[in-house]
Amino acid sequence: GEDVEQSLFLSVREGDSSVINCTYTDSSSTYLYWYKQEPGAGLQLLTYIFSNMDMKQDQRLTVLLNKKDKHLSLRIADTQTGDSAIYFCAEDPNSNSGYALNFGKGTSLLVTP
């Protein structure tokens, strides 16, 4: 499929907010997802947003969706060193591939003390 775009790296200080951005490709995507991957591990589903929503908040995580620009962001408040990981944005473009996800290349988040 076409590329879901994410910036590759982000470095923040502990306690600051992190904002990870993503541009997706398919305006028909019904859901958009954020996954977290720690070194050598599988992907952990962090949160997802339905395409008719503008915002979703879940504890320290806030997802913003701009459907017109096909832009998705993940804000992590009060970022901790344990948040250091790779964050993947994903879309599910259509049901023709069994709702398989189309992923970006991931953003490596480094949280420094």
Partner 1 sequence: DGGITQSPKYLFRKEGQNVTLSCEQNLNHDAMYWYRQDPGQGLRLIYYSQIVNDFQKGDIAEGYSVSREKKESFPLTVTSAQKNPTAFYLCASRVGGTAREQYFGPGTRLTVT
Query: Does 91 interact with partner 1 (rule: CB under 8 A)?
Result: no
Query: Does 53 interact with partner 1 (rule: CB under 8 A)?
Result: no
- Rule CB under 8 A: choose which of 48, 56, 62, 67 binds partner 1: 48
- Which residues touch 107 (CB under 8 Å, ≥6 apart)? 6, 7, 8, 9, 10, 20, 86, 87, 88, 89
The nearest distance, CB 57 to partner 1, in angstroms, is: 18
* Residues at the site binding partner 1, with contacts judged by CB under 8 A: 1, 4, 8, 30-31, 33, 35, 40-45, 48, 88, 92, 95, 97-101, 103-106
